[in-house]
Amino acid sequence: MSPLANITISDISKKYKSASFESLSNVSFSINAGKTIGILGPNGAGKTTLISILCGLIEPTKGVVSYQTENKTNLAGIDLKKIIGFVPQEYAFYHELTPVQNMSYFGSLYNLSKEEIKQKTDSLLSILGLAEVAHKKINTFSGGMKRKINLAIGLIHSPAILFLDEPTVGVDVQSKLSIIEFLTETSKQGTTIIYTSHHLSEAEDFCDDILLISKGKIVANGPTKEIIQKNNASDLQSLFIKLTKSE
Protein backbone atom coordinates (compact mmCIF):
# COMPACT_ATOMS: atom_id res chain seq x y z
CA MET A 1 0.00 0.00 0.00
CA SER A 2 1.27 3.48 -0.85
CA PRO A 3 2.11 5.89 1.98
CA LEU A 4 -0.44 8.56 2.83
CA ALA A 5 0.62 11.96 1.50
CA ASN A 6 -0.48 15.52 2.29
CA ILE A 7 0.36 18.58 0.21
CA THR A 8 0.57 22.19 1.40
CA ILE A 9 0.80 25.00 -1.15
CA SER A 10 1.88 28.33 0.37
CA ASP A 11 1.67 31.66 -1.48
CA ILE A 12 2.63 30.30 -4.91
CA SER A 13 3.13 32.74 -7.77
CA LYS A 14 4.54 32.17 -11.24
CA LYS A 15 5.59 34.69 -13.86
CA TYR A 16 7.26 33.41 -17.00
CA LYS A 17 10.19 35.47 -18.31
CA SER A 18 8.45 36.46 -21.53
CA ALA A 19 5.09 37.24 -19.88
CA SER A 20 3.76 40.63 -18.85
CA PHE A 21 1.55 39.15 -16.10
CA GLU A 22 1.60 36.34 -13.54
CA SER A 23 0.17 33.00 -14.57
CA LEU A 24 -0.45 32.30 -10.88
CA SER A 25 -0.77 34.89 -8.14
CA ASN A 26 -0.48 34.16 -4.41
CA VAL A 27 -2.11 30.73 -4.52
CA SER A 28 -2.42 28.90 -1.20
CA PHE A 29 -4.35 25.72 -0.33
CA SER A 30 -3.85 22.24 1.07
CA ILE A 31 -4.73 18.71 -0.01
CA ASN A 32 -5.27 16.02 2.61
CA ALA A 33 -4.21 12.42 2.10
CA GLY A 34 -6.80 10.24 0.42
CA LYS A 35 -8.79 13.17 -0.94
CA THR A 36 -9.71 13.76 -4.56
CA ILE A 37 -9.41 17.42 -5.55
CA GLY A 38 -10.49 18.83 -8.89
CA ILE A 39 -8.42 21.73 -10.19
CA LEU A 40 -10.78 23.48 -12.55
CA GLY A 41 -10.89 26.69 -14.56
CA PRO A 42 -11.20 28.17 -18.04
CA ASN A 43 -8.47 27.74 -20.63
CA GLY A 44 -5.58 30.02 -19.71
CA ALA A 45 -6.59 30.26 -16.06
CA GLY A 46 -3.30 28.78 -14.81
CA LYS A 47 -4.25 25.12 -14.31
CA THR A 48 -1.38 23.69 -16.36
CA THR A 49 1.13 25.94 -14.62
CA LEU A 50 -0.17 24.91 -11.20
CA ILE A 51 -0.10 21.20 -12.03
CA SER A 52 3.42 21.54 -13.45
CA ILE A 53 4.58 23.14 -10.21
CA LEU A 54 2.90 20.49 -8.08
CA CYS A 55 4.54 17.74 -10.15
CA GLY A 56 7.94 19.39 -9.73
CA LEU A 57 8.31 20.04 -13.46
CA ILE A 58 8.77 23.80 -13.04
CA GLU A 59 9.68 26.06 -10.13
CA PRO A 60 7.39 28.80 -8.83
CA THR A 61 8.60 32.39 -8.95
CA LYS A 62 7.83 32.54 -5.26
CA GLY A 63 6.14 30.40 -2.66
CA VAL A 64 6.57 26.84 -1.41
CA VAL A 65 5.03 23.44 -2.12
CA SER A 66 5.51 20.99 0.74
CA TYR A 67 4.87 17.25 0.56
CA GLN A 68 4.56 15.14 3.69
CA THR A 69 4.13 11.41 4.26
CA GLU A 70 3.98 9.51 7.53
CA ASN A 71 7.75 9.13 7.55
CA LYS A 72 9.10 12.15 5.67
CA THR A 73 8.47 15.87 5.31
CA ASN A 74 9.42 18.33 2.57
CA LEU A 75 9.99 15.60 0.00
CA ALA A 76 11.88 16.65 -3.13
CA GLY A 77 13.86 15.27 -6.05
CA ILE A 78 13.96 11.49 -6.42
CA ASP A 79 12.08 10.95 -3.16
CA LEU A 80 9.21 13.04 -4.49
CA LYS A 81 9.14 11.38 -7.91
CA LYS A 82 8.85 7.97 -6.25
CA ILE A 83 5.51 8.86 -4.66
CA ILE A 84 4.00 10.68 -7.66
CA GLY A 85 2.06 9.12 -10.52
CA PHE A 86 1.06 11.15 -13.57
CA VAL A 87 -1.55 10.19 -16.16
CA PRO A 88 -1.40 12.74 -18.99
CA GLN A 89 -4.14 13.54 -21.46
CA GLU A 90 -1.89 12.30 -24.27
CA TYR A 91 -1.20 8.59 -24.52
CA ALA A 92 2.10 7.92 -22.76
CA PHE A 93 3.05 4.41 -23.80
CA TYR A 94 4.48 2.45 -26.72
CA HIS A 95 1.66 1.57 -29.11
CA GLU A 96 3.59 -1.23 -30.82
CA LEU A 97 4.07 -3.06 -27.51
CA THR A 98 1.59 -5.02 -25.43
CA PRO A 99 0.20 -3.89 -22.05
CA VAL A 100 2.46 -6.39 -20.27
CA GLN A 101 5.54 -5.12 -22.14
CA ASN A 102 4.68 -1.50 -21.40
CA MET A 103 4.07 -2.20 -17.74
CA SER A 104 7.36 -4.08 -17.52
CA TYR A 105 9.26 -1.18 -19.05
CA PHE A 106 7.72 1.55 -16.93
CA GLY A 107 7.90 -0.56 -13.79
CA SER A 108 11.63 -1.01 -14.33
CA LEU A 109 12.05 2.78 -14.39
CA TYR A 110 10.91 2.79 -10.77
CA ASN A 111 13.34 -0.02 -9.92
CA LEU A 112 10.54 -2.47 -9.20
CA SER A 113 11.52 -6.12 -9.10
CA LYS A 114 10.21 -8.54 -11.74
CA GLU A 115 7.96 -10.07 -9.12
CA GLU A 116 6.53 -6.67 -8.13
CA ILE A 117 5.94 -5.71 -11.75
CA LYS A 118 4.14 -8.97 -12.50
CA GLN A 119 1.98 -8.70 -9.40
CA LYS A 120 0.97 -5.09 -10.11
CA THR A 121 0.48 -5.76 -13.82
CA ASP A 122 -1.76 -8.77 -13.24
CA SER A 123 -3.77 -6.91 -10.60
CA LEU A 124 -4.25 -3.66 -12.53
CA LEU A 125 -5.06 -5.26 -15.87
CA SER A 126 -7.56 -7.57 -14.18
CA ILE A 127 -9.29 -4.75 -12.29
CA LEU A 128 -9.45 -2.59 -15.42
CA GLY A 129 -10.86 -5.41 -17.56
CA LEU A 130 -7.77 -5.80 -19.75
CA ALA A 131 -6.51 -9.22 -18.68
CA GLU A 132 -7.70 -10.89 -21.90
CA VAL A 133 -5.72 -8.43 -24.07
CA ALA A 134 -2.62 -8.32 -21.87
CA HIS A 135 -0.44 -9.76 -24.65
CA LYS A 136 -1.97 -7.97 -27.64
CA LYS A 137 -0.41 -4.89 -29.24
CA ILE A 138 -1.98 -1.69 -27.99
CA ASN A 139 -2.22 -0.17 -31.48
CA THR A 140 -5.26 -2.42 -32.04
CA PHE A 141 -7.10 -1.13 -28.94
CA SER A 142 -10.10 1.19 -28.67
CA GLY A 143 -9.77 4.66 -27.14
CA GLY A 144 -11.27 3.51 -23.85
CA MET A 145 -8.84 0.61 -23.58
CA LYS A 146 -5.91 2.93 -24.27
CA ARG A 147 -7.10 5.28 -21.52
CA LYS A 148 -7.09 2.35 -19.11
CA ILE A 149 -3.54 1.41 -20.11
CA ASN A 150 -2.47 5.02 -19.55
CA LEU A 151 -3.99 4.79 -16.07
CA ALA A 152 -2.43 1.42 -15.25
CA ILE A 153 1.04 2.68 -16.17
CA GLY A 154 0.60 5.72 -13.90
CA LEU A 155 -0.21 3.39 -11.01
CA ILE A 156 2.44 0.69 -11.58
CA HIS A 157 4.57 1.93 -8.65
CA SER A 158 1.63 2.45 -6.23
CA PRO A 159 2.05 6.23 -5.97
CA ALA A 160 0.83 8.11 -2.92
CA ILE A 161 -0.22 11.04 -5.16
CA LEU A 162 -1.84 10.59 -8.55
CA PHE A 163 -2.18 13.43 -11.07
CA LEU A 164 -4.87 12.96 -13.71
CA ASP A 165 -5.20 15.24 -16.73
CA GLU A 166 -8.53 14.63 -18.51
CA PRO A 167 -8.47 10.88 -17.74
CA THR A 168 -11.77 10.14 -19.53
CA VAL A 169 -11.55 12.42 -22.55
CA GLY A 170 -12.77 10.85 -25.78
CA VAL A 171 -14.03 7.57 -24.31
CA ASP A 172 -17.46 5.96 -24.36
CA VAL A 173 -19.84 6.18 -21.41
CA GLN A 174 -19.20 2.64 -20.18
CA SER A 175 -15.41 3.07 -20.23
CA LYS A 176 -15.79 6.43 -18.46
CA LEU A 177 -17.87 4.87 -15.68
CA SER A 178 -15.40 2.01 -15.33
CA ILE A 179 -12.44 4.39 -15.03
CA ILE A 180 -14.18 6.66 -12.49
CA GLU A 181 -15.27 3.67 -10.38
CA PHE A 182 -11.70 2.39 -10.33
CA LEU A 183 -10.31 5.82 -9.40
CA THR A 184 -12.87 6.20 -6.62
CA GLU A 185 -11.75 2.89 -5.15
CA THR A 186 -8.10 3.94 -5.54
CA SER A 187 -8.86 7.07 -3.53
CA LYS A 188 -10.52 5.00 -0.79
CA GLN A 189 -7.26 3.05 -0.47
CA GLY A 190 -5.51 6.29 0.55
CA THR A 191 -4.16 7.65 -2.73
CA THR A 192 -4.34 11.43 -3.01
CA ILE A 193 -5.81 12.31 -6.41
CA ILE A 194 -5.39 15.65 -8.19
CA TYR A 195 -7.69 15.79 -11.17
CA THR A 196 -8.33 18.20 -14.04
CA SER A 197 -11.18 17.93 -16.51
CA HIS A 198 -13.62 19.93 -18.60
CA HIS A 199 -16.36 17.40 -17.78
CA LEU A 200 -17.92 19.35 -14.92
CA SER A 201 -20.74 16.89 -14.16
CA GLU A 202 -18.13 14.14 -13.82
CA ALA A 203 -15.96 16.34 -11.60
CA GLU A 204 -18.93 17.20 -9.39
CA ASP A 205 -19.60 13.52 -8.69
CA PHE A 206 -15.97 12.44 -8.46
CA CYS A 207 -14.19 15.16 -6.48
CA ASP A 208 -14.33 15.54 -2.70
CA ASP A 209 -13.02 19.09 -3.05
CA ILE A 210 -12.63 21.57 -5.86
CA LEU A 211 -10.15 24.35 -6.51
CA LEU A 212 -11.56 26.77 -9.07
CA ILE A 213 -9.06 29.23 -10.51
CA SER A 214 -9.56 32.19 -12.81
CA LYS A 215 -6.86 34.51 -14.14
CA GLY A 216 -4.26 32.85 -11.93
CA LYS A 217 -6.19 33.31 -8.68
CA ILE A 218 -8.36 31.06 -6.56
CA VAL A 219 -12.03 32.00 -6.78
CA ALA A 220 -13.41 28.97 -4.91
CA ASN A 221 -11.86 26.23 -2.79
CA GLY A 222 -13.38 23.62 -0.53
CA PRO A 223 -15.75 20.66 -0.37
CA THR A 224 -17.57 20.42 -3.69
CA LYS A 225 -21.16 20.35 -2.43
CA GLU A 226 -20.54 23.04 0.17
CA ILE A 227 -19.01 25.42 -2.38
CA ILE A 228 -21.94 24.93 -4.76
CA GLN A 229 -24.49 25.59 -2.00
CA LYS A 230 -22.56 28.53 -0.57
CA ASN A 231 -22.63 30.28 -3.94
CA ASN A 232 -26.32 29.52 -4.55
CA ALA A 233 -25.52 27.50 -7.65
CA SER A 234 -27.58 24.56 -8.84
CA ASP A 235 -24.56 22.49 -9.86
CA LEU A 236 -20.84 22.72 -10.60
CA GLN A 237 -21.38 23.94 -14.14
CA SER A 238 -23.53 26.84 -12.91
CA LEU A 239 -20.90 27.67 -10.29
CA PHE A 240 -18.16 27.58 -12.92
CA ILE A 241 -20.02 29.98 -15.21
CA LYS A 242 -20.92 32.30 -12.33
CA LEU A 243 -17.42 32.65 -10.90
CA THR A 244 -15.42 32.71 -14.17
CA LYS A 245 -17.77 34.63 -16.47
CA SER A 246 -15.31 37.52 -16.87
CA GLU A 247 -12.49 35.17 -17.96
CATH code of residue 216: 3.40.50.300
Q: What would the pLDDT profile of 202-213 be if each residue is shown by its tens digit? A: 999 999 999 999
Answer whether residue 197 is part of any domain.
yes
Q: pLDDT at residue 247 above 60?
A: no
Q: pLDDT at residue 220 above 90?
A: yes
Distance CA 20, CA 32 (A): 34
Answer whether residue 165 is part of any domain.
yes
pLDDT at residue 3, as a whole number: 66
Distance CA 126, CA 121 (A): 8
pLDDT at residue 83, as a whole number: 85
Answer whether residue 73 is part of any domain.
yes
Among the residue ranges 110-114, 146-150, 195-199, the one predicted with the least confidence is: 195-199
pLDDT at residue 235, as a whole number: 95
Into how many domains does the chain fold? 1
Answer whether residue 81 is part of any domain.
yes
Q: pLDDT at residue 120 above 60?
A: yes
Distance CA 204, CA 197 (A): 11
Report the predicted TM-score, pTM, of the whole model to 2 decimal places: 0.89
Answer whether residue 186 is part of any domain.
yes
Residue 80's domain spans which residues? 5-90+161-244
Q: What is the pLDDT of the chain when averaged over all its residues?
A: 90
Answer whether residue 190 is part of any domain.
yes
